[in-house]
Amino acid sequence: MHVCFDIREVDLRVLDKPVVSLGTFDGVHLGHQAVIKKLLDKAKERDKMALVITYEPHPQSVVAPQSTPQILTTLEEKLDLFEKLGVKETLVVNFDRKFSQLAAKEFMEEILVRGLSASGIVVGHDHAFGSNRSGNVELLAQISKKYKFELEVLPPVRAQVSPRDSAQTGGGERISSTKIRRELKEGDFERGINMLGHSYPIWGEATKGKGRGKILDYPTINLQTAPAKLLPKEGVYATKVQIRDKNHFGMLHIGAKPTFGDSSQSTEVHLLDAEPEQIDSEVRLLVESWIREVQRFDTPALLKDQLRVDERKIKEMFHID
């Protein structure tokens, strides 16, 4: 996938009136995926380039920093998910104070019409843009008629995250990044994953820990993650692990270590199918399932017994010996 970080560097002749979708796409959840899949279909029908436009940093960190949410996906994680969906061209707009003050109509005419010569635009039903989010799908419809490009607005996407949801909401719960954040941080991890439609990515740099895992015969790799990244609630998780293009299975711990009287928060993973080597590179976690909450044990030996139980459960989940 080609990624451009400056609209001035985009070769408009190569893009040749692309079909465009734009948004923050935090989490690249099922609703976002529906928009992107429709974008790819429309571009293929027209034999045009499909272009995804996204913003960095999260717009709210600029316009309302006091209420900025923790992000579900860092830019790198988001771009990886775009690529897995089949996106070939992405434009990352530097969302700064000046950009945030663009009026909605100016935003559309300067960037999408005159800048990119978009032949079509695909967005979700609640898409908003421009200064104070004053632009909406109604304004997009007006501009599309004026400049004669096709506009496709997708309806809300719902996920059947449990039988209860299906009965209460008539087909599932409406998906949003806000709901997913709440489920991952305070609620039901599985519900959050169902709304995402993919494993929860946590990418970080390997750091040196205190070596307690090694003493327990469960050595771990400690991760340092981006400050803005949302980490799920404290607990033990089943996860897939990618290190230097090698795939592993792991047991992930997020939170404090009460058995050792340590209230500091850590994110550390034990590899179930390999010995952890000295790592000085990025570690990519794809978190699959919540196993249990963090507990305090009277002795390290009792904690080790519980880790054996956790290990067996995760190995059965991943169908490994």
163, 70, 56, 264 alpha-carbon torsion, rounded to 10° = -130
pLDDT value at 164 more than 60: no
| Bridge partners of residue 284, in order along the sequence | 203, 242
Residue 54 has pLDDT above 50, yes or no: yes
What is the model's pLDDT at position 168?
A: 41
Q: For the chain, what is the mean pLDDT?
A: 92
Nearest to 303 by CA among 313, 293, 295: 295
Length of the chain: 321
Report the alpha-carbon distance of residue 12 to residue 297 in Å, rounded. 62
Predicted confidence at residue 161, as pLDDT, reads 60
**pLDDT surpassing 50 at residue 169:** no
pLDDT at 111: 86
Q: What's the DSSP call for residue 16?
A: -
User: CA 2 to CA 8: how far, in whole Å?
Assistant: 15
- The Cα 80–Cα 84 span in angstroms is 6
Query: Omega of the bond prior to 156 within 30 degrees of 0, cis?
Result: no
Is residue 189 a contact partner of residue 232, using CB atoms and an 8 Å limit?
Answer: yes
For the chain, domains (ranges, CATH) are 2-154 (3.40.50.620), 156-198 (no CATH), 200-318 (2.40.30.30)
The arithmetic mean of pLDDT across residues 43-52, rounded, is 96
- What are 240-268's pLDDT values in tens digits? 999 988 999 999 999 999 999 999 999 99
Residue matched to tokens 């990515």: 201
pTM of this prediction? 0.93
**Torsion sign over Cα 264, 269, 272, 276:** negative
Distance CA 296, CA 209 (A): 19
